[in-house]
Structure 1
Amino acid sequence: MTAFDIDKQTLNDLEVFGSSEDHKSLFDLFNQTCTIEGESTLKLIFKNPLTDIKVITERLKLIQYLQNSSLDFNLDKESVDFIAFYIRQNNRPKKPSALSKIKKTVSEYLNPTRAFYIKRRGVKEVLDLITYLDLIVSHLNRKTNFSFLKKINDVIIEIKNNRPIAEYLLSKNNKLTPSKLSVFDFEIRTTAASQITNLLTLLYELDAYFAVAKTAKQHTLCYPQLNSDEEKHVEIKMLRHIFLDKPVPNDVFISTDKNVSFITGVNMAGKSTLLKSIAIAVYLAHLGFPVPAQQMKTSVFHGLMTTINISDSLSQGYSHFYNEVRRVSSVASKIDACKNMFVIFDELFRGTNVKDAHEASVSIINAFSKIKNCFFIVSTHIVEVAEDLHQNENIDFNFLETKMIGNKPSYSHKLKAGITSDRMGLWIIKNEGILNILDRNAKR
């Protein structure tokens, strides 16, 4: 299976993990897990997008099934964490004989130790967890074709083949006497140890999937459809930014015929927000997660690279422009490795003068348009770049609309076909009263 290529710059651009406790992140939005290890499992999933269409599709269908099940999956975090602690105990028990059971019963009854407490609680928590997961899988219908649910069911069946455990689970009077504790402690941490460990691993993954299902329901996310057609395309209807309270939805379509989407618009028109929305949707789809849109159909890519919040590298002595050049070079290397990439550049070559940015942008975008197995989205407020590219049939031109209402700009944040000629830079400077302040001081 080919690994999905995504780097630190892209993860930072999309705010996948965030940079501080106060910073909102994509992971935090989806992290409604019940357990510590469930959270760790979800984070591992976030770090490893998929490229196998069958694996992605099965995960999507599983999460959608969990959401539609309306099952209240709610584990007690402390109980599950205690099970993990109990299982990790180093003092492996020996199979208890009849005499040793009597001695241990009397000893622990007269002088209960910390080890006895751990054993008593650990055994009870494990048996309760097996019972709970058995009910969960039964509720989710064992006849479903989900390989993941079948794995859980198969492990539970293996555990229930253990005679003492099976008898306990079938008993109406599930009282754990001190003598029985030694038996269950031995069975759980020795005979059935590997099955219990496997069950916990699957439990953490189930916890992660239920967390995603809860998020999908709360934020009205849709489940993307993936296709394996030779002609690649990405079609998203009513796409919105997942972090915004009142987002403006947009439709996005990119195909092999027009593999470059060139977006113009003035500063503050919403270009960066739109590009992040598109990238987040592509990223989530490759995790096998639902996306913030009404509908999405997409091909599978081998990687995602964005350049939205690039900065100077002061420690290495690199300028903003040189960092941009290195970023384009990195994209070229990924493509050269025979990977079909989804690439986004926000304000390409903003770190140099307008003339250099113009010429470099035209050259690079024309080169992008010839690479049909990759999709590119490039934004700019330098309208002249779009005019020089207008004859290229592989480029789809769109803009974010801005209107002057009275003496103020109004940003619709709606994507429209064509090229904008709007210019707002000087108006913004004048509106802030900067020139008036400078003129007033010049006369002093």
Structure 2
Amino acid sequence: MSFIADKQTLDDLQLLGKFNSSSIFSLFNRVKTKGGEQVLDQMFLRPMTEVGAINARSEVFRYFRDHAAEFPFRNDAIAAMVAYLEENREQSAGLSFFRMARNKTMASITRDETYEREQQGLQACLVILRECGALLRRLEQDGLHTGTPWAAWAQQAGLVLRHPQAAAFLEMPANEELSLSQSAKLRHLVAGVWKEQLLALIMATYELDVYIAVGTVAREKNFSFAVARPRSANMLHAVDVKHPRLDKGVTNSFSFSKEGNVLFLTGANMAGKSTLMKSSGILLYLAHMGFPVAAGELEFSVMDGIYSSVNVPDDLNKGYSHFYAEVLRVKKVAEEVSEEKKLFVIFDELFKGTNVKDAYDATLSVTAAFAGFTDCFFIISTHIFEVGEALREEPSVRFVFLPTVMEGHVPRYTYKLQEGITTDRQGMIIIENEGILDML
């Protein structure tokens, strides 16, 4: 079963986008190879829902966080090798020799560049094979080729490097030109005998690129790793959570369970509600990827997906107002939770596109209804603190707020969660402090 996160959620949380320097993808995109970037992209597109797979990947990243490593291969050589493998395939040694001889003859007669390109591709393959050999020897000397996350790569590399005909090429001087017979033999090995193993080795190398890159980010940012629990545990316990893009961000802790599945959040404008909610969504998404998280610790039961409603746009083409777009978003979530899916849901300022009376009634009714789906967890924020007072009798709703401290006429925000409901409203104070009324 695939993890659910639709485009609205991905956009709200700024999870994807290699060309968006503010995205969470860009935060982790320290890879050295194009293939590594593609592997990273697939990991972001496919969070996992199997406990063992999540925890296993977390352990790999944890290893590379705790054991610093540099990516040991030349990206240009890897790219050239991949291109050569994709363009060539040989079935027999005789055919390989015939083609190489023909290409060399054409190069001398017509200045055809095919033979030169062949040589460049083969030399790139040799460069990578030598680098693989050097890495494998280091791993074996240090005892890391078994029992560590290096083992999968080492096993795949060994399938090629321990082939009886590999030694003759690996022991050649690095700058020595290949003869016609050597070129033909290497072409047959690379494009024929070893091709499938080499493609698998390259994929393992791309994965290694991702492991080293993500582990480096985790070490530099002091991120931790979540522990996934079965769905039946129905819990989430997060300590010292912050937005992963805020190195000096204020941390907060929160929990969910069957007995407390709704976090009702109040606070003034600029108090940090949206940032907290986005941080929680990013936290859980990364946790289902097995990635490091911006928290002191996190333990969670596996969920089916995340839905958010933070920046819901209107739709001029369909004639949807902002309010109607909000209603459709709530309807979508209602349909999903009604199908007994286990979801983490973020509603930031429910029904802000309508009048206060309708917003009050709708927020109260929807929150009370969602509270009954105890297998799902909700964070619902609002400026209408009166809704909170009306929800006091709901046993599974917890009330928290982000306070504002007034220093004279200037508000100061602590960004630190407290229990309860706040009645803070500083909108007019901010307007007056900016001198808007004086200008008018």
Q: Same fold (TM over 0.5)?
A: yes
| Distance 1:247-1:233 versus aligned 2 partners, 3 A rule | same
| Residue number in structure 2 paired with 1:441 | none
* Cα offset, 1:182, TM superposition: 1.6
* Cα offset, 1:17, TM superposition: 2.1
| Residue number in structure 2 paired with 1:160 | 161
| Residue number in structure 2 paired with 1:39 | 37
| Distance 1:317-1:258 versus aligned 2 partners, 3 A rule | same
Q: What is the rounded CA distance, in whole Å, between the counterparts of 2:279 and 2:435 in structure 1? A: 33
Question: 1:141 aligned to 140, 144, 147, which one?
Answer: 144
Q: What is the rounded CA distance, in whole Å, between the counterparts of 2:254 and 2:58 in structure 1? A: 21
5+ long unaligned stretches in structure 1 = 439-444
**Partner secondary structure for residue 345 of structure 1:** strand
Q: What is the rounded CA distance, in whole Å, between the counterparts of 1:99 and 1:154 in structure 2? A: 30
| Residue number in structure 2 paired with 1:7 | 6
Count of residue pairs the alignment pairs up? 433
Q: TM-score, normalised by structure 1?
A: 0.90
| Distance 1:383-1:258 versus aligned 2 partners, 3 A rule | same
Moved more, 129-138 or 118-127: 129-138
| Residue number in structure 1 paired with 2:252 | 250
Q: Which amino acid aligns with 1:211?
A: A
Q: TM-score, normalised by structure 2?
A: 0.91
Kept in 2, the 8 Å contact 1:404–1:410? The answer is yes
* Cα offset, 1:256, TM superposition: 1.6
| Distance 1:354-1:121 versus aligned 2 partners, 3 A rule | same
* Cα offset, 1:106, TM superposition: 8.2
Kept in 2, the 8 Å contact 1:34–1:74? The answer is no
* Cα offset, 1:66, TM superposition: 1.7
* Cα offset, 1:437, TM superposition: 3.4
Question: 2:83 aligned to 85, 103, 119, which one?
Answer: 85
Moved more, 175-184 or 412-421: 175-184
Q: What is the rounded CA distance, in whole Å, between the counterparts of 1:383 and 1:80 in structure 2? A: 58
Spell out the pairing of 1:9-408 with structure 2 (5 A cutoff): 9-18=8-17, 21=19, 23-90=21-88, 92=90, 94-96=92-94, 113-135=115-137, 137-138=139-140, 139=142, 141-144=144-147, 149-169=150-170, 171=171, 175=176, 177-178=178-179, 179-228=181-230, 230-408=232-410
Moved more, 304-313 or 109-118: 109-118
Percent sequence identity over matched residues? 34
RMSD: 2.6
Kept in 2, the 8 Å contact 1:33–1:39? The answer is yes
Kept in 1, the 8 Å contact 2:12–2:309? The answer is yes
**Partner secondary structure for residue 236 of structure 2:** strand
Q: What is the rounded CA distance, in whole Å, between the counterparts of 2:138 and 2:314 in structure 1? A: 52
Q: Which amino acid aligns with 1:144?
A: G
5+ long unaligned stretches in structure 2 = none
Q: What is the rounded CA distance, in whole Å, between the counterparts of 1:287 and 1:378 in structure 2? A: 24
Q: What is the rounded CA distance, in whole Å, between the counterparts of 1:242 and 1:151 in structure 2? A: 30
| Distance 1:103-1:245 versus aligned 2 partners, 3 A rule | closer
Q: Which amino acid aligns with 1:158?
A: L
* Cα offset, 1:361, TM superposition: 0.6
| Distance 1:126-1:196 versus aligned 2 partners, 3 A rule | same
